[in-house]
Amino acid sequence: MHENNAKFFMKDVQKRKDNRGLKIKEVGISDIFLPIFVSDKKNQKQQVIANIKASVGLSRAKKGVHMSRFLEIISKYQNFNFNNLSVYDLLQEIKNKLDSSLANIEISFMYFIEKIAPVSQKKFLMGYPCKIISRIFRNGKVSQELIVEIPVSSVCPCSKEISKIGAHNQRGVITIYVETASFIWLEELIEIAEKSASGVLYPILKRIDEKYVVEKMFNKPKFVEDTAREVALRLKKDKRIINFTVECTNYESIHNHNVYAKITSK
C-alpha cells in the first residue's frame, strides 16, 4: 500500500467515544525544547531555549487528543515575540485546532540580562530562570502568570549582631509568581527582587567591585523573612498585579539545609 494513501485506511482511535464519564483537566505534551524569542526591554527581543508544556481539556465523551497537533501549531511560533500577554495567541490556536473549551501553556527558559559591575563597570550576561504560564478556562476567562527566579545573596542579621568578626552570608534565590492582566517586563520583577535582598549577584567582579559589593551586603543584613516581606511590599504596590506569591530560599553557609519564607497575596 502506498504510504500516502495509508491514512485513509487508518483507524482514528483517539476520535472514538469514551463512556467512563470523566472529563480530563489537562492532556498534552511536555519537555518540548525549542529556540523561541521573548520580549527584551533593552533589545526588543531575545532568543531563548524554551521547554514547553501545552495541554487542552478533554470532555467526557472523547477518548483522546491528537498530540501531534500541539507541535504543528507550536512550530509556527518560532519567530514570534513572546511575553506574558502575547503567548495568548498560541494558546488560542491550540484551543481551536484541538477543539477544546480550555487550553494551557507553560514556557520555561533562561533569560539573560547584562549585569554591570558597580565600580569597574565590567559587563557580562547573567541568566534568570523564567516561566510564562497562560490559561483559558471553561468560562472564557484568561489567566496570565509570570514566574522569575532571581539568585541573590543574604547576610544574617542575627549572626552579624552576635559577633564582631563577621556574619554568615550565602547565595539564595527569590522566586516571584505574579498573575496579571497587563504587560510586565521580566526586568521589572528582577529589579524588585534585587532591591529587596541583602546583595545582588554579578558575573564579573574585580577587587574594587568585590569590596563594594561585600560592604553593601553587610550593611543590609536580612533574614529570609525580611527579604520576602520587602519583595511582597513592592509587589503589592503594583496595580498591574492581580495576585502574587514570593518565595525566598537561603542556602545557609553554616548548614547543609536551607531556610525559606513564602508570602502570598491571597
Task: Please report, as residue ranges, which positions from 98 to 117 form the binding site for a second copy (by CB under 8 A).
Answer: 110, 112
- Which grid coordinates belong to 48? 531563548
CA distance 193 to 176: 8
CA distance 65 to 68: 9
- Residues between 192 and 211 with contacts to a second copy, criterion CB under 8 A: 199, 201-208, 210-211
The smaller minimum CB distance to a second copy, of residues 85 and 238, is found at 238
Binds a second copy by CB under 8 A, chosen from 131, 180, 226, 234: 226
- Which grid coordinates belong to 231? 519583595
Can residue 139 be called a binding residue for a second copy (CB under 8 A)?
Answer: no
The smaller minimum CB distance to a second copy, of residues 81 and 159, is found at 159
- Which grid coordinates belong to 45? 527581543
Phi, psi of 122 (to 5 degrees): -70, 140
* CB proximity list for 229: less than 8 A, separation 6 or greater: 263
CB 250 within 8 A of CB 188: no
The smaller minimum CB distance to a second copy, of residues 160 and 185, is found at 160
Tell me the closest approach of the beta carbon of residue 223 to a second copy, in angstroms.
Answer: 5
Tell me the closest approach of the beta carbon of residue 60 to a second copy, in angstroms.
Answer: 10
What mask, x for binding a second copy by CB under 8 A, covers residues 8 to 47? Answer: --xxxxx---x-x-xxxxxxxxxxxxxx-----------x
Binds a second copy by CB under 8 A, chosen from 89, 138, 142, 225: 225
Q: Which region among 82-90, 135-143, 163-171, 177-185 touches a second copy (by CB under 8 A)?
A: 163-171
Give the torsion through C-alpha atoms of 82, 86, 91, 96, to 10 deg.
-130
How many of the chain's residues bind a second copy (CB under 8 A)? 108
Q: What angle do CA 98, 104, 109 make, to 5 degrees?
A: 120
